[in-house]
Amino acid sequence: MTAKHLRLALVALLGVAILFLFVFPARSYLAQRARAEEARRDVEAIREQILVLEEEAARLQTPAEIERLARLQHNMVYPGERLYSVVPEGSGDADDIP
């Protein structure tokens, strides 16, 4: 081998060594930082959801909210109260049949 070929081989080897020592670890480091930042954003979003859900859970434990939901979703009334249902006109009752 000539000195020129040897020098070219050393330069190529040095280039590959630089890639393995600096470029690839730097890419891995930057990718890890991006994943860590994404994980931080996810954690923050989950913390905000937890706060909202804790507030809702506390609200659902109040007597007023329990009564409101019982009346609205289950048509419950207190003893002595009457529940009325308004049926829209033309609802398909027997009176509508000619």
Q: What is the pLDDT of residues 22-66, one digit of tens each?
A: 777 888 889 999 999 999 999 999 999 999 999 999 999 999 999
Instruction: Answer for the pair 41, 35: CB distance below 8 angstroms, yes or no.
Output: no
**Both ends of the chain: CA-CA distance in Å?**
109
73: phi then psi, degrees, rounded to nearest 5: -90, -25
Tokens of 67: 């009564």
Instruction: Answer for the pair 50, 58: CB distance below 8 angstroms, yes or no.
Output: no
Residues 55 and 46: their CA atoms lie apart, in Å, by: 14
Output the pLDDT for position 2. Answer: 86
Instruction: Answer for the pair 63, 70: CB distance below 8 angstroms, yes or no.
Output: no
Please tell me the pTM assigned to this model.
0.55
What would the pLDDT profile of 45-54 be if each residue is shown by its tens digit? 999 999 999 9
- pLDDT for 94 beyond 80: no
